[in-house]
Structure 1
């Protein structure tokens, strides 16, 4: 079992996700108490994919997150750097154009996609700024980015309870439902070390995105950030 460290070496993170690929979706459903389904619905609303639009779904894993976009009539490209995840996705959704790719060096031309989205994957990228700039590069002028990521509860008492769950309750639950519980210890640590909501918004602005905004889901356990590529850029 590979246990990635918080310096997020790409080969370590990819190998870790290869190890958990088979039961990843089920484990997430259990650990989030079913909330991940609601969060993904909110992502789909924010992306607002339309027929004939092109959507890039980064850190798509097995392709589960891409299904709402295909159902809207958009052409979606699920992209992930874990080959284990992509293999599982191909078994479940053989018609999806699952693509291997690194968020810091995307294998796409400039100005291709109407929307780029990434859910619960940005914090696992080694260089967040480079990934945000790559997302901007492959997005059409006027297009949008939607980022769904674990964040930090805004109400202090709830934040304390949540952090206790992450570091004390999550590992034994992960041992019960996952064959690779150490991976979920890393994921809990990566959530704690992730920037606050306002800082991620500033990172988006520094990368060149405009009209950046965010809203909290489930009290700030998750934050949904959105931005637009300036026209003429």
Structure 2
């Protein structure tokens, strides 16, 4: 079974997600204790897509997040660098005529400048080997006045929550993974990547450095996950 490490080599990470594509959504539901659906709805509300808008959903995986966005009537481009994820996504979202799947690297997006009214990524930025380069690409393809929404695992601000989450990761998560995933070693990387990921103020600083304004974040589930938002200025 393929397992990535914190060097996050693109080919290695892509192959790892190919391995888990078929069971990915089920495993996420189990490991999040059902919170994955709540996080997805919060992300969709933050993006606030409207009919006719163009939305780029990066690291879209099997298209679950894309389907939530597309329910508004927006045109959604579901981009992912895992061919296995895209194959599963195209099959599962075949009935959604306003979703198109594209194989793409977040650091080298195959789209023109100012192509999208909104760009979003859920639980994918920490898997990018150069996340700040990806943010620069998100900024490039966002239309002036457009918005960015990032949903990602984060650092709970309260010590007792951090402790409890650490206990969950170490003792509860491994047996759940063995029951629900086809590649349990891949989820060792999941834990490592979460623990290695910067906190909310650091990621907010990266958004500002990329050029976004009105940068803010909101904690979900006591800060286990955070929603980050920013706007591309109308005039540069």
Q: Do Structure 1 and Structure 2 share a fold, with TM-score over 0.5?
A: yes
Deviations 1:84-135 (A, max 9, x none): 0000011111243110000000010000100000000000000011000000
- Unaligned stretches of 5+ residues in structure 2: none
Match 2:221 to one of 213, 218, 223: 218
Match of 1:71 in 2: 71
1:118-157 matched pairs, under 5 angstroms: 118-157=121-160
Query: 2-side partners of 1:113 and 1:163: how far apart?
Result: 38
Q: CA deviation at 1:176?
A: 1.1
What is the alpha-carbon root mean square deviation over aligned residues?
A: 0.8
- Unaligned stretches of 5+ residues in structure 1: none
Query: 2-side partners of 1:71 and 1:6: how far apart?
Result: 35
Match of 1:88 in 2: 88
Q: CA deviation at 1:167?
A: 2.5
Runs of 4+ in structure 1 deviating by more than 2 angstroms, as ranges, are none
Q: 3-state SS of the aligned residue for 1:213?
A: strand
Q: CA deviation at 1:154?
A: 1.2
1:34-73 matched pairs, under 5 angstroms: 34-73=34-73
Query: 1-side partners of 2:65 and 2:135: how far apart?
Result: 19
Deviations 1:166-207 (A, max 9, x none): 133212210111110011110011000100001000011111
Query: 1-side partners of 2:190 and 2:72: how far apart?
Result: 31
Query: 1-side partners of 2:115 and 2:85: how far apart?
Result: 24
Query: 1-side partners of 2:179 and 2:222: how far apart?
Result: 27
Query: 2-side partners of 1:177 and 1:47: how far apart?
Result: 30
Q: CA deviation at 1:35?
A: 0.2
Deviations 1:45-101 (A, max 9, x none): 000001110000000001110112211010000000000000001111124311000
Query: 2-side partners of 1:78 and 1:207: how far apart?
Result: 22
Query: 1-side partners of 2:121 and 2:44: how far apart?
Result: 11
Match of 1:196 in 2: 199
The size of the alignment, in residue pairs, is: 233
Match of 2:23 in 1: 23
Deviations 1:18-42 (A, max 9, x none): 0000010000000000001000000
Q: 3-state SS of the aligned residue for 2:149?
A: strand
